[in-house]
Chain A
């Protein structure tokens, strides 16, 4: 997974609450045995009609959507299915950061595991970002702060270990493999 330290770029706003992972990527895109080619599945039913033509009026089809590395979404983003394809589809589409006032547990875990930075901000700060009209955001993971175009700073909380892994592009397998001796001892002690 790619390391994440800091980025500045435009944000795309999807204000809907409870955007579930079936919206982020419908199940019919889950039949592959690899994670390649997921960009087409990202928000597929929001972006395309039954003929595969782009739906007019969908912000995700506007040119700025393709160049926005930051997604600001309504409360309880990523609820529903545990499909890791969801954060991976967002990455493939071009997002590196998702900001909401609440992010579903499994989606947040999956995002951290694949290198998409999930940021949860308090309601009032989140509300300001939802109303943002253009302008860049800077995301600084080192200092755990979001900075808007007017230089307002929004500090966010993130689990220290998740932050460390994202900053270093490190997955958790090495962390677990390093525990082999403890795992063996546990199995012996607990008759596993």
Chain B
């Protein structure tokens, strides 16, 4: 089919070198924007989960509409699902009857509208942003939306991917399109290489701290530079996932050979000759030399070290060993007070009650390996509870095949069924009020992991090291002890 694959249309009109984002945008414009009306943007892949979709389907029923492209819609169950296995009677321990009703509603809606659902019993069910890429549903050149802000994750493949609200879920179900104004563009260039023991999560937290939790508002971000190129796809997904925590709806990385090899052989990716054709087009999406951005930021990878958040937004972070800021503003005072953290001194040594490894940020196989590498041969501290939740059924299978579940269980951690779990407090996995959790998830907002819960965001390696020590420690010190 020549030089065009889904999402990689060539278009006239854009003179000069174009960025990845420019190409993605232009290839999906059904109707150009004007001063009076937004662009109509075509959506290639619509991911759906149980929490933000029921009222979208209701909109269809109220208006007598069908789903325009069920073949471009893919659903799963993740947010309100329990992470404990079903009982002997097959019953699942839903947190509330409403949670169960919500799951059943999505099952019914998918049935009624002919949508593929990776539900209970599926080999692929998982957190929506873990499942899509694993299946090969997410591909370079696509537009991807989901009623979930961490849809930015899929941008790691060189897709334009962003979160939407439930009304917009209804729009996409009905028309496969969204009214959109083109955001401004920002490039974040990460020069150099991350040091040993420094994770993609540490880089993500460093970038958010650098540009601020609102620094990306109004922008789509492209991540570039040597350190980004050196990341594997899972690391790139972690970075793109956290883009929304800097206020930008979309984060992306240009496709390269790493992207192509990740997708080869995935169930929903093209196969045979079609794959090679597609791959050539994917590689052509990269930003051209001289393309312009509304804003450009340079970050030195050598400045990144294992990082933890000390406060109540993802920009409030410090490197291990670095002093937490003093409470010199009302916001900082409130955050220190909420977290029970003392300003002016490092977090190192702070007691940790709960450790959570999982979520769409860090619930993939490489994340579980990183945690298991630290934990192997150790015990989780007596006073600390550690929960490890694989991001999907596929991740769970792969982890069990290499014995990671044994590592966690022998260390005294819990090994759960896939789901969003403790990332957000709506499925029964909660951090008790006043307790401190080191969590590999993405949000440390007040109450995010339970009313009164105190969340410190970190990488899987840092989380595992903290679990062993029962307090905040540098995973590199932990690794050093291993060798000694």
Q: Are A186 and B51 in contact (CB under 8 A)?
A: no
- Which residue from chain B places its CB closest to the CB of A107 in the assembled complex? B165
CB distance from B291 to the nearest CB of A (A): 23
Q: What are 9 A-to-B residue pairs whose CB atoms are below 8 Å? A: A22-B424, A22-B446, A26-B425, A28-B425, A31-B80, A45-B447, A81-B443, A105-B247, A109-B168
| Main SS at interface, chain B | loop
**Could you tell me which B residues sit within 8 Å of A by CB distance?**
1, 4, 6, 9, 27, 30-31, 35-38, 40, 42, 44, 51-52, 54-55, 58-59, 63, 68-69, 72, 79-80, 95-96, 98-99, 101-102, 105, 147-149, 162-168, 170-171, 174-179, 181, 183, 213-214, 217-218, 244, 247-249, 313, 330-331, 334, 424-426, 433, 443, 445-448, 451-452
Please, which residue of chain A has its CB at the minimum distance from the CB of B105? A33
The CA-CA distance from A23 to B105 in the complex, in Å, is 26
| Contact call A102/B166, Cβ cutoff below 8 A | no
Binds B, one of A121-129, A147-155, A177-185: A177-185
Q: How far is the CB of B173 from chain A (nearest CB, A)?
A: 10
Q: Which residues of B contact A192 (CB under 8 A)?
A: 6, 42, 44, 69, 72
Taking a contact as CB atoms under 8 Å apart, the answer to whether A22 and B448 are in contact is yes
User: With contacts A84-B165, A187-B176 known, what are 17 further pairs, Cβ within 8 A?
Assistant: A23-B447, A28-B426, A34-B54, A76-B247, A83-B51, A105-B217, A105-B248, A172-B171, A173-B175, A175-B179, A176-B171, A179-B30, A179-B177, A186-B30, A190-B27, A191-B4, A192-B72
Q: Once bound together, how far apart are the Cα atoms of A161 and B38, in whole Å?
A: 7
Q: What A residues does B37 contact at CB under 8 A?
A: 161, 175
Q: Give the interface size bracket for A toward B.
A: 35 or more
Interface residues of A in 135-184 (CB under 8 A from B): 159-161, 164, 171-173, 175-177, 179-180, 182-183
User: In whole angstroms, what is the CA distance A180 to B72 when docked?
Assistant: 17
Q: Which residue of B9, B149, B433 is within 8 Å of A81 (Cβ)?
A: B149
Give me the interface of A with B, judged by CB distance under 8 Å.
15-18, 20, 22-23, 26-28, 30-35, 45, 50, 75-76, 79-84, 102, 104-106, 109-110, 113-114, 159-161, 164, 171-173, 175-177, 179-180, 182-183, 186-187, 190-192
